[in-house]
Structure 1
């Protein structure tokens, strides 16, 4: 299912307190950038935030599922976990999750 323009606009507005948010359509979904740092994806009207070894446990503690897809008969799991449903209620509730994802994106940058 493709993402809806309304949902994507809602998510970008929700994340706006972090910085300049832009989206780029890709693979039937969208990548989200904050000040040019790729930190989230939207697939099937679901927000997934960047995770790594430092912040993954925060997401796993809340039983937030990892983003997975099938390619060539194999399941591929990327370093993104679903955002908590309650965090979608306001920018204040989303802020710590989004900041954690942005920090993971910054750590992933190559020097």
Structure 2
């Protein structure tokens, strides 16, 4: 099962107070970006937040689960918490602030 487009639309609408929020589809699932940092994954219509100490403090006692088979553990945020726009926005903002900037990509070599 893959994530429905309606799920991503709902989440990005809930997070619309953040100026730099976007999603990117990957292998039938989605990555959520904030300030060009991957802050979460949405897999099988479930939200998985990248783990940070700041995120743990914000959530309290997060439920940890793999986002997909073989992945490391992420903080799973249940659908009922998605309804609280302010709380969800705060969690994503806190997580983004705690994550390092992505490493610049190396330029591709031209094909010979």
| TM-score normalised according to structure 1 size | 0.74
CA separation of 1:59 and 1:90: change in aligned 2, threshold 3 A: closer
Matched with 1:58 is: 57
Q: State yes or no: 1:93 paired with 2:87.
A: yes
1:43 aligns with 2:37: no
Output the TM-score relative to the length of structure 2: 0.73
Q: Would you tell me which structure has more helix in proportion to its own residues? A: 1
SS, match of residue 24 in structure 1: strand
Cα deviation digits, residues 44-100 of structure 1 (max 9, x gap)? 101111213x23543774242232543xxxx4314x311244431132121221122
List gaps (5 residues or longer) in structure 2.
105-112
- Give the number of the structure whose alpha-carbon radius of gyration is greater: 2
Give structure 1 stretches of 5+ with no counterpart.
none
More strand by share: 1
Corresponding residue of 1:32? 32
- Alpha-carbon RMSD: 2.5
Contact 1:22–1:33 at 8 Å: present in 2 too?
Answer: yes
SS at 1:25 equivalent: strand
C-alpha distance in structure 1 between counterparts of 2:51 and 2:88, whole Å: 15
Distance in 1 (alpha carbons) for counterparts of 2:8 and 2:66: 17
